[in-house]
Structures are given as C-alpha cells and as structure tokens.
Amino acid sequence: AQKVTQAQTEISVVEKEDVTLDCVYETRDTTYYLFWYKQPPSGELVFLIRRNSFDEQNEISGRYSWNFQKSTSSFNFTITASQVVDSAVYFCAIPNQAGTALIFGKGTTLSVSS
C-alpha cells in the first residue's frame, strides 16, 4: 500500500537558516508521482511541486529545492535562507494505488523566527 512518512513533527529555525524537511515513501508502483504542499496559517493547501519517478534530477525553484532519491525512497525538501513567511505546515504526498487520490503524510510544522 502507498504510504508517506514525515518523521519530523516540528522544526524551529531562525531566519536565514537553511532547513530540510524529510519525506520517505512506500509504493509498489514502478512509476509514480510525488508531491509537496504548503499549508500556511490560513489553512488552504498550496501545491508546490509534482515529481515523476522517472526524473531523479534535483529541482530548484528560487529558495526551494527538492532532492529525489529513488534508492532510499526519499523526496526531501530544502528551503534556503528561510524567512518568516515560510512558517507553515508542509505535507508530502503520493497517489493511492489506483491513482485516484493523494495520500498525505502527517506533515511537518516549520516555524521560522526573526
């Protein structure tokens, strides 16, 4: 069965520090997608990235970067030079077996202080 584990429940950093959020997944599929979402205090989930298991190149978008490693079943998310506005709950997700819905990890709460 599909499963996502985010072992870090809460992380606190000071502004400008780099921070990495861990995501480990389980799947029986040979090809699959992985996702990251951000949930700011307002509550709405914001889509950040979708990654295909075919592509193991690291992805960078501004201060955000993602490290996908199929060998360790991990899809980690790094924020460089964190800012207070990065404070949120971050979720990693994978489609269910049928591909019809996303299964989310329990999330990591990131607090960035000034």
Partner 1 sequence: SQTIHQWPATLVQPVGSPLSLECTVEGTSNPNLYWYRQAAGRGLQLLFYSVGIGQISSEVPQNLSASRPQDRQFILSSKKLLLSDSGFYLCAWSPTMNTEAFFGQGTRLTVV
Q: Binding residues for partner 1, per CB under 8 A?
A: 32-33, 35, 42-47, 50, 91, 95-96, 98-107
Return the residue matching tokens 């201060």.
63
Token digits of residue 110: 């990131």
> Please, what is the end-to-end C-alpha distance for the chain in angstroms?
41
Token digits of residue 39: 């949930």
In the complex, the smallest distance separating the C-beta of residue 45 from partner 1, rounded to whole angstroms, is: 4
52 vs 83 by CB, closer to partner 1: 52
Where is 110: in which H helix or E strand?
Answer: strand 108-113
79 vs 107 by CB, closer to partner 1: 107
In the complex, the smallest distance separating the C-beta of residue 106 from partner 1, rounded to whole angstroms, is: 4
